[in-house]
Amino acid sequence: MSAGRRLVRFRGPDGEPRTAAVEELPVEPIDDETLELPPPYTLLAPVTPPEVWAAGVTYRRSRDARVEESAVEDVYSLVYDAERPELFLKDAGGRRTVGPGEPVGVRSDSQWNVPEPEIGLVLGAGGALAGVTIGNDVSSRSIEGANPLYLPQAKIYAGACALGPAVLETDDWSLELRIEMRILSATGEGLFAGETSTANMRRSFDELVSWLVRDNPVPPGSVLLTGTGLVPPSDFTLEPGHAVEIRVPGIGLLRNPVVSATRLVSEHARSEAHV
């Protein structure tokens, strides 16, 4: 990977959000991976995307898992081999996207929930590649598995997306990134661990972006999640009290606790009532 700056957003004592390169921060991070900052500084999501998009079935492991879960098996095999990729809107306006240390949500009406660790592409004007970050495309496999037409409900809800801790600027778009994930219980016990690499992707970053912006006015600053190659076993489900850690060397570590999406909706409603 070409060396590049890591950019973060943070809030200081004056309460104003700011962006800076890691080496230009006014305080030293507590840890170089998590980039956690000492009080009263707070690390925020590294970008505030007007839209978050996501690609699916870009890794063979993801295709196999979704074939296993679905009552309509041919759908996922066909899209994996097709010229046109699967693309869907994950969030708009930042209402469902959180940053490092903030809780992600799982749906109360789903029996099988999973994190999906992914590389997020930060896009400039016209879909130009501006940087990479870590994303967690939290999903309901039981809802999507019941019927692929339920995909929006399986993917779009409170706390269903996390980004962070930094955006890596790079000029090497042939880079291969290692993605590691751990899921921890409320007591810190390891429940799942695995790793993959973007070398296992069927499609390139450029290819995915070219399809995303085709006849589609994607605003600058948007993020495209590029699919997952790490899938927990079918007998595992993400639950409130768990924590998800996603590490990508060169970018950092994104850690988020898990809560009920119902709780997040209630908290959003209370917060907006006081605005």
> Where do the domains of the chain lie?
45-273
Q: How far apart (Å, rounded) are the C-alpha atoms in residues 101 and 229?
A: 23
Structure confidence at residue 69 (pLDDT): 61
pLDDT of residue 75: 81
Position 68 scores a pLDDT of 64
The answer to whether 167 and 132 have CB atoms below 8 angstroms apart is yes
CATH topology of domain 45-273: Fumarylacetoacetate hydrolase; domain 2 (3.90.850)
Q: Cβ–Cβ contacts within 10 Å for residue 127, how many? A: 21
Residues, the chain: 275
How confident is the model at residue 61, as a pLDDT? Answer: 60
Of the candidates 160, 157, 183, the one whose C-alpha atom is nearest the C-alpha of residue 238 is 183
Query: According to the 3-state scheme, what is the secondary structure of 206-218?
Result: HHHHHHHCCCCCC
The pLDDT of residue 78: 87
Say what the pTM is: 0.94
Point out the residues of the chain with pLDDT beneath 50. 1-2
> What is the pLDDT at residue 2?
47
- Cα distance between residue 107 and residue 238, in whole Å: 10
pLDDT score for 111: 96
- pLDDT, residue 173, reads 84
**Please, what's the b/e burial string for 20-53 (b: 16 or more CB within 10 A of its CB; e: otherwise)?**
eebeebeeebeeebbbbbeeebbbbbbbbbebbb
* Cα end-to-end distance, the chain, whole Å: 44
Task: Check: CB of residue 147 under 8 Å from CB of residue 72.
Answer: yes
